[in-house]
């Protein structure tokens, strides 16, 4: 059911009960209800520090990718370790600043920044805009001029490298919407003085997410370094090389590079470059730092299938539905060895056939009210969740050394309609229908 070299080291069985950092997860489920996300403080910290230490051969800044898990408590935890932030919206920038991340450690990516978002970032004095197109450069230049500011730019190039990952999360091939082709980028740098309010300071690449081999990184970084050397030979100075994020984790049978292996593979290209390095990890830090707790509502048998219906759904964790992604799932209380397992689908209550967490999975016998843990849910779990089917979003809890802390309240029905309004023209409809 789960590989023997269990990869979520701060989540483990103690006897028959499943724990996170000496906190019994069944007690968390009873205290806070389900569905609930639970994160390990120790795992989050250790994953950041491993990556930070691995690149100690070069001056670097780790800018945590907030889109992977945007809870302000987790951002605050990482800020306390000296971490920066990779943001892709004004909302993420707001979160980062409120969490205490220093603006000079924030980089702002994304293909479609609004004028208000650009203004917010300029007034916040962020480190760099990762710019994706000439049209965007024109817009940033315009907004910066209106504010009498100089915007620092890291030009995102498209290295045309296949990251060998899911098509939806591949971002560095020439047919993707991200980045600027190398030839076009070189012409932009040659004519940089046309942008009076911009300072071109860096090169940015990001080739995808959940990448389990170092080879695509090596290929992409080599292209970026060759491009930087070409700029230098034309007397164009570059201060930063941003190699993005996307380092993969173990969900099932993957064997991704460890932090030191990843760093060592890039060392021959980076060490003598005389540029500061920026990294944008997200999933690597948070993915295996979190689980989603969910309760079995009922077990349904049909002619051909057996369904375990749980109270979490695709609106809580969208990855299986979006990417057909695999997540290990464990009962919080181990069943007796003599109880047989069976082939089941584990599904949620949302009105979509795509609402599932496992299909044709061999799973221990469980009953109504048993609690399950969906593993590797710390990244792109809550941050991609929604209120589809008018379902309140889950609670979030942080576990640390035998104690747990609520870091997001569960939404209520009242929260679902908090910002909605019924205009006066609709309020009168009842009276027209003869109602008082």
Order of all β-strands in the sheet with 17-20 = 11-14, 17-20, 23-24
* Bridge partners of residue 202, in order along the sequence: 154, 240
Residue among 265, 247, 159, 176 at smallest CA distance from 211 = 247
Residue 83 falls in the annotated catalytic set: no
Q: Do the beta carbons of residue 202 and residue 278 sit within 8 Å?
A: yes
d(CA 337, CA 171): 45
Catalytic entry in 83, 275, 351, 404: 351
Candidates 378, 338, 361, 344; CA nearest to 1 is 361
Q: Distance between CA atoms of 104 and 308, rounded to whole angstroms?
A: 48
Structure tokens at 309: 């219906």
Between the alpha carbon of residue 187 and those of residues 190, 236, 239, 388, the distances in Å are 5, 12, 18, 46
Q: Which residues are catalytic?
A: 351
């Amino acid at each position: 059911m789960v590989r023997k070299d269990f990869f979520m080291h701060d989540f483990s069985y103690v006897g028959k009960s499943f724990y996170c950092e000496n906190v019994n997860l069944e007690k968390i489920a009873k205290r806070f209800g389900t569905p609930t996300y639970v994160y390990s403080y120790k795992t989050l910290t250790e994953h950041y520090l491993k990556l930070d230490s691995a690149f100690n051969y070069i001056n670097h800044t780790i800018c945590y990718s907030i889109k992977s898990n945007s809870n302000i408590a987790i951002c605050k935890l990482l800020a306390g370790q000296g971490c920066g932030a990779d943001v892709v919206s004004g909302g993420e920038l707001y979160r980062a600043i409120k969490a205490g991340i220093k603006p000079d450690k924030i980089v702002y990516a994304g293909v479609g920044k609004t004028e208000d978002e650009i203004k917010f970032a300029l007034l916040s004095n962020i480190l760099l805009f990762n710019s994706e197109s000439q049209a965007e450069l024109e817009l940033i230049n315009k907004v910066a001029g209106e504010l009498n500011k100089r915007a620092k730019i890291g030009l995102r190039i498209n290295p045309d490298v296949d990251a060998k990952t899911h098509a939806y999360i591949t971002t560095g091939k020439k047919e993707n919407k991200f980045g600027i082709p190398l030839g076009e980028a070189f012409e932009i740098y040659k004519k940089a003085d046309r942008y009076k309010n911009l300072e071109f300071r860096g090169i940015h690449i990001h080739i995808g997410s959940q990448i389990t081999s170092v080879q695509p990184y090596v290929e992409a970084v080599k292209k970026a370094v060759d491009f930087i050397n070409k700029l230098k030979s034309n007397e164009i100075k570059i201060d930063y090389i941003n190699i993005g994020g996307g380092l993969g984790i173990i969900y099932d049978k993957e064997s991704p590079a460890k932090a030191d292996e990843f760093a060592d593979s890039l060392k021959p290209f980076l060490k003598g470059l005389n540029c500061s390095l920026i990294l944008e990890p997200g999933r690597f830090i948070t993915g295996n730092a979190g689980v989603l707790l969910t309760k079995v509502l009922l077990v349904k048998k049909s002619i051909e299938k057996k369904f375990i219906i749980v109270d979490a759904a695709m609106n809580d964790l969208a990855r299986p539905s979006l990417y057909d992604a695999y997540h290990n799932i464990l009962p919080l209380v181990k069943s007796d060895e003599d109880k047989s397992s069976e082939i089941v689908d584990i599904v949620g209550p949302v009105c979509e056939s795509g609402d599932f967490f496992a299909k044709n999975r061999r799973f221990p016998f469980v009953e109504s009210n048993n609690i399950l843990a969906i593993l590797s849910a710390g990244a792109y779990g809550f941050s991609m969740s929604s209120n589809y089917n008018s379902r309140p979003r889950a609670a979030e809890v942080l576990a640390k050394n035998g104690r747990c802390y609520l870091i997001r309240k569960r939404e209520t029905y009242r929260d679902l309609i908090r910002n909605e309004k019924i205009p006066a023209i609709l309020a009168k409809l009842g009276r027209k229908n003869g109602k008082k």
